[in-house]
Amino acid sequence: MIFGCGYLGRRVARAWIDAGHEVLAVTRTQKNAESFRQSGIQPVVADICDPDSLAILPEVDLIFYAVGFDRNSGRSHKEVTCGGLRNVLSSINGRCRRFIYVSSTSVFGQSAGEWVDESSECKPTQPGGQNCIEAERLVWEYFPNSDVTNANVLRLAGIYGPERLLSRIESIRAGLSVAGRGDSWLNLIHVDDAASAVLACEKTGAPFETYVVVDDLPVLRSEYYTKLAELVGGPAPVFNPEEASARGSGGLNKRCSNKTLRERLKWTPAYPTIATGLPASINSTTST
């Protein structure tokens, strides 16, 4: 059963369906429910922020929890990220045997360009990261006292891929300035590689382990946007340090390592860097 069956979740669902599994997805809307049915996914209409609605959750082998923040929900990031998760955990007691929770590399607060991994200190400076690390604590507080045989946390870097780049492509072609500094680091993961990491964790993830999910090579924002401009025929990007970037701390930020994921789960990304991932994403985006 998937909570947050969206950009990443639908790819994971398709892989599980193709493998012969019955896949359910929780949604708040009948519109999404019908879309899931058409994709071979069995919908469960419930709202993670409404505890009473979760009473209908069925017993399942595995829950994949990848709920993102919907700004149109009328609720705060903390209400969704922490409150919603708390409601779900309280509702599933005895009704699942495996739990995989999607967190974020925003839990790392390092800002001097240092390398970080699963052993690094987590002191996030931004509200999103602070909510994510609190949600991780909720997972670990709950599961040691439950009947679940295995739980994992996946800290995902920024997901990119087909259809995620369209608005950025348009602004690059228009020559609009890019908010923030060009010398800060981006940690990225192609959506297909994020999905394969979830599947690898499902199959071989060690009980109660955390894994950082990121590609092989962090990239400076200047390099990323220059590459993107070259691929879409736009002018060289101009950065505006005075305008706050939607991502990052505004400094050099951290560089995330995928060594643990590669070595312990034998995972290999299909798109190890943006050198292959960006062209593939743009080709898919512009051909649809």
- pLDDT tens digits, one per residue of 106-132: 999 999 999 999 999 999 999 999 999
pLDDT band at 145 (very low <50, low <70, confident <90, very high): low
Residues 252-266 have pLDDT tens digits of 789 999 999 999 999
268-283 per-position pLDDT tens digit: 999 999 999 999 999 8
DSSP state of 70: -
pLDDT of 234 reads 95
Asked if residue 147 has pLDDT above 80, the reply is: no
Angle at which helix 274-286 crosses helix 221-232, to 10 degrees, equals: 40
- Beta-carbon contacts of 39 under 8 Å, excluding residues fewer than 6 positions away, are 10, 13, 14
What mean pLDDT comes out for the span 198-212? 96
pLDDT of the residue at 243: 84
Answer yes or no: pTM beyond 0.85. yes
**pLDDT above 90 covers what percent of the chain?**
83
Query: Average pLDDT, whole number, for the chain?
Result: 93
- The whole-number average pLDDT for the span 144-148 is 66
How does pLDDT run across 162-174, given as a tens digit for each residue?
A: 988 877 899 999 9
In angstroms, rounded to a whole number, what is the distance separating the alpha carbons of residues 135 and 129? 10
Give me the pLDDT at residue 250, please: 52
Tell me the Ramachandran region of residue 61: left when phi exceeds 0, alpha when psi lies from -120 to 50, beta otherwise.
Answer: alpha
Q: Which is it for the CA torsion 227, 232, 238, 240, positive or negative? A: negative
pLDDT tens digit sequence for 86-100: 999 999 987 888 999
Cα angle 241, 178, 70 (rounded to 5 degrees) comes to 105
Give me the percent of the chain exceeding a pLDDT of 70.
95
